[in-house]
Chains A and B, each alone.
Chain A
Amino acid sequence: MEIFWYSLIGIILVIFFILDGYDFGTGIIHLFYAKKEKDKEVITKAAGLFWDSNEVWLVAAGGMLFMAFPTYYASVFSGLYLPLIIVLWLIIFRALGLELRGQFNYQMWKDIWDKAFGVSSLLLTLFFGIALGNVLRGVNLGGVEGTEGIYEGHYFFLPLWSHDFSPLSTHPGVIDWFTIIIGIIAVVTIAIHGANWVILKTNASINEKLKKVRFRLGIALVILTLFSLSIWNLINPEAYSNFAEHPYFIIFPLIYITGLAGILMSHKFKKEITPFICSTLLIVGGIISSISSMFPVILPSTNDIHESLTIYNTSTSEYGMNTAFIWGIIGVILIIVYFIIQKRLTTGKVDKMDYGH
């Protein structure tokens, strides 16, 4: 049962990053590449239509995490208090940007909210990546100083950074050079994804340019990936052995590699949807490979006194999980049905659509 909930929550989170990822990504693209008013308008429209229904996935993942792994929810959310609140603020700020820009027809007004939308999309992606980095690296569970913990073994509190920015120190902060790298990888991945979405959904004049940008970002991603792989062992010595233990996990890095290869070759594809699928694979493969490298641990401990949090020592009762299994399955089927209905009715380019908005 733990494994079922772990996988379901993981899948829902990945779907969230795929869906909201494209509108984060359009934000990043918008920030750096959209220069003409027409393009800006189309791009914000491409993001603006669905962002709120995309965020429902985040809510669902949060709710299920709360239900199935309450100890984990309590530990991570309170321990990462500051970055999570910043994420919340950025979510709100981004929404403000998207919704406000069209309200008045002043250039300066639009510029301000365009920047708000772009910058918050960028920072949000960076922070989500940093959060993933923290979960991969682990934290000082129990707040151990020397041999004494100041909290119960599953609580911690991270400062935003520590003096040496090193992931290897005994008291790492939220931001260090490892988590920053993961954050940058997230930004690049999501930017590729966003570029694909813009190309797919609009006829913006920058689409040709974006195709080149996409290629360059793909190259950057290859370099970043190789680099992060080489330091992986430093952070988590067991990372590779986990793949040896569960050989079928290898499929996740393979998905990632396929996606990456697809991005680099995307000028060869005829359909605009194909690169989008590749960047989707990139997100799926990237997140799942990193998480599965530690399975069944979900938050490593950086000290030897308190054990790492796993899906087994943070879960709720068997009865609770079994009951939820039944309604969970029903819920998932319903969502798939809604989703298919919704997407079938909203295919095509947004510039041409009459949404009556």
Chain B
Amino acid sequence: MEDMIFYDRLQFAFTITFHYIFPQLTMGLSLIIVLFKFQFLRTKIEKYNDAAKFLMKIFAINFTMGVITGIPMEFQFGTNWAKFSELTGGIIGQTLAMEGLFSFFLESSFLALFIFGEKLMGQRLHFLTGLLVFIGSWASGYLILATNAWMQHPVGYEILENGRFVLTNFSELFTNPWLMPAFLHNQMASLVTSSFVLASIGAFYVLRNKQVEFGRLFLKSGVILGLISSLLVAFPTGDWNAKNMAKYQPGAFAAMEGIFETEHAGAEIVLIGQPNMVEKKLDNKLAVPNVLSFLTYQDWNMQIKGMDQFEEDELPDNIPALYYSYHIMVGLGTIFLGIMALAVFLLWRKKLFKSKAILWTILFLFPFPYIANITGWYTAELGRQPYLVYGLLRTADGVSPNVSSGNTLFTLLGFMGLYLILGLLFVLLVGKTIHQGPTPKKH
């Protein structure tokens, strides 16, 4: 059975990982663009407008990539996960169809207007189109997360005799206790990505000594937003998600924290260690006693269930990957906070633009929020295993019964090849745009 679904899972994981490279930037960037455009309206300083228009170019490239890689995601529900689509389509189809109808149209129509219509519309309307692009992209994230939240923690449904899930309460889809924490955390995480990218472009211009004025603007706004969002991603939103996991997915929680055995008086928090699945313990563990209990329940001595309390087939099937994903995300989050705090401090002491070391660090920091975002999603998705719909529908029961794994392997290889070229194209386009820079108006 495991082998049957292996390639389907791999294909989904591969294509969604690639897809999610793009939306995480667009969601954060759209907010930053709105902020710049707003600054321009307020101050009438041309620089802010040029910055907004420049960033919209990067946005547009990412958006196009989001569209191209998003269509395979939608198709895959039907092609590879037909049984899942058949059984749950009546519910998650609601949120996915709403996404198509409300947010994608909003985003794509007004993106075109933002790029082409400045002269026709005047500045206020132009700001408004930017705002609508922002709303569209966040609404899209919200609806996707509502979909995912339902899979993590199903609500408002009824199961018919033939195994189908049908919707019984529409509004519960949006008041799902899993949704808000996940949405806010995810949006803050995408703001981390975008502000780090912004700061990195800024550092590039300053170090290169061209477009220095924009370089400074980008650096300054990038590190300030970077600090704020890094704070928010850890607390309250990250913490809030962890509490949700402890409450609704205790087995996955134990696995991601690396707790093999239940401790009776308070659980320790693991900082470093490698899960050893044979002996069921952590190798080379470095841990602080009782802290996990406190973080989760505000009680130093609260008991937390370890993996020994769960049946083997109720636990995620890839515990080391889950554990590492989670620890990479949290570890990077901590490092981000440190670096951004330092950068803001230097900015305040007016040393940021001169300190080569920190500029180089910021320049090469931008891949790491991508890694944190992807590993964060791996935490969520691997933690949900072995279920597609938590507790109700197993992953193995969601796959297309009529598509053989040979076919899936073949198409997976095809996607890999095409995405390689696509990725190169993306780097080329973004690189070119950044290289040209937000050149001020010529005429």
Distance (whole angstroms) from the CB of A10 to the closest CB of chain B: 15
Give Cα distance in the complex from A338 to B101, angstroms. Answer: 12
Residue on A nearest B85 in the bound complex, by CB: A74
**Which of the residues B71, B82, B113 comes within 8 Å of A75, measured between beta carbons?**
B82
Give Cα distance in the complex from A256 to B432, angstroms. Answer: 46
**Which of the residues B78, B110, B170 comes within 8 Å of A78, measured between beta carbons?**
B78
Residue on A nearest B89 in the bound complex, by CB: A70
B100 adjacent to A53 (CB under 8 Å):
no
Residue on A nearest B166 in the bound complex, by CB: A317
Q: Which of B72, B75, B422, B432 has the most CB of A within 10 A?
A: B75
B85 adjacent to A66 (CB under 8 Å):
yes
Give Cα distance in the complex from A100 to B429, angstroms. Answer: 9
**Which of the residues A55, A143, A316 comes within 8 Å of B89, measured between beta carbons?**
A316
Give Cα distance in the complex from A89 to B69, angstroms. Answer: 10
Q: Which of B85, B121, B407, B421 has the most CB of A within 10 A?
A: B85
B113 adjacent to A88 (CB under 8 Å):
no
B70 adjacent to A59 (CB under 8 Å):
yes
Number of A-B contacts (CB under 8 A): 214
User: Assuming the A-B contacts A89-B418, A355-B115, are A60 and B407 also in contact, with contact meaning beta carbons closer than 8 angstroms in the complex?
Assistant: no
User: Assuming the A-B contacts A91-B71, A95-B68, A346-B116, are A76 and B90 also in contact, with contact meaning beta carbons closer than 8 angstroms in the complex?
Assistant: no
- Of B29-37, B312-320, B396-404, the one contacting chain A is B396-404
A81 adjacent to B401 (CB under 8 Å):
no
B78 adjacent to A74 (CB under 8 Å):
yes
Residue on A nearest B63 in the bound complex, by CB: A52
B90 adjacent to A67 (CB under 8 Å):
yes
Residue on B nearest A98 in the bound complex, by CB: B64
A320 adjacent to B94 (CB under 8 Å):
yes
Residue on B nearest A64 in the bound complex, by CB: B97
Distance (whole angstroms) from the CB of B34 to the closest CB of chain A: 18
B425 part of interface (Cβ distance < 8 Å): yes
A320 adjacent to B166 (CB under 8 Å):
yes
**Which of the residues B67, B82, B90 comes within 8 Å of A52, measured between beta carbons?**
B67
Distance (whole angstroms) from the CB of B405 to the closest CB of chain A: 12
A82 part of interface (Cβ distance < 8 Å): yes
A79 part of interface (Cβ distance < 8 Å): yes
Kindly list chain A residues whose C-beta atoms are within 8 Å of the C-beta of B96: 63, 66-67
A224 part of interface (Cβ distance < 8 Å): no
Distance (whole angstroms) from the CB of A290 to the closest CB of chain B: 22
B167 adjacent to A320 (CB under 8 Å):
yes
**Which of the residues B83, B105, B111, B113 comes within 8 Å of A60, measured between beta carbons?**
B105
A85 adjacent to B113 (CB under 8 Å):
no
B74 part of interface (Cβ distance < 8 Å): yes
Give Cα distance in the complex from A39 to B121, angstroms. Answer: 31
B80 part of interface (Cβ distance < 8 Å): yes
B428 part of interface (Cβ distance < 8 Å): yes
User: Assuming the A-B contacts A52-B63, A81-B79, are A88 and B71 also in contact, with contact meaning beta carbons closer than 8 angstroms in the complex?
Assistant: yes
B116 adjacent to A85 (CB under 8 Å):
no
Residue on B nearest A339 in the bound complex, by CB: B109
**Which of the residues B83, B89, B422 comes within 8 Å of A67, measured between beta carbons?**
B89
Kindly list chain A residues whose C-beta atoms are within 8 Å of the C-beta of B112: 49-50, 53, 342, 346
B414 part of interface (Cβ distance < 8 Å): yes
Residue on A nearest B94 in the bound complex, by CB: A67
**Interface residues in B421-435 (C-beta closer than 8 Å to A):** 421-422, 425, 428-429, 432
**Interface residues in B49-76 (C-beta closer than 8 Å to A):** 63-64, 67-68, 70-72, 74-75
Residue on A nearest B418 in the bound complex, by CB: A92
Give Cα distance in the complex from A100 to B432, angstroms. Answer: 12
A59 adjacent to B71 (CB under 8 Å):
yes
Q: Which of B72, B94, B97 has the most CB of A within 10 A?
A: B97
A99 adjacent to B429 (CB under 8 Å):
yes
B248 part of interface (Cβ distance < 8 Å): no
**Which of the residues B93, B121, B168, B422 comes within 8 Å of A96, measured between beta carbons?**
B422
Give Cα distance in the complex from A356 to B402, angstroms. Answer: 49
Residue on B nearest A103 in the bound complex, by CB: B428
B407 adjacent to A81 (CB under 8 Å):
yes
**Interface residues in A111-150 (C-beta closer than 8 Å to B):** 143
A215 part of interface (Cβ distance < 8 Å): no
User: Assuming the A-B contacts A99-B425, A323-B170, are A157 and B402 also in contact, with contact meaning beta carbons closer than 8 angstroms in the complex?
Assistant: yes
A328 part of interface (Cβ distance < 8 Å): yes
B108 part of interface (Cβ distance < 8 Å): yes
**Interface residues in B109-130 (C-beta closer than 8 Å to A):** 109-113, 115-117, 120-121
Query: What are the nearest 8 A-B pairs in CB distance?
Result: A70-B89, A77-B78, A67-B93, A316-B90, A78-B82, A331-B101, A63-B97, A63-B100
A-B contact pairs, 14 of them (CB 8 A): A59-B100, A64-B101, A67-B93, A74-B83, A78-B403, A89-B415, A89-B418, A92-B68, A103-B432, A143-B402, A316-B89, A316-B90, A338-B106, A357-B115
Residues of B within 8 A of A (CB): 63-64, 67-68, 70-72, 74-75, 77-80, 82-83, 85-94, 96-102, 104-106, 108-113, 115-117, 120-121, 166-168, 170, 400-403, 407, 411, 414-415, 418, 421-422, 425, 428-429, 432
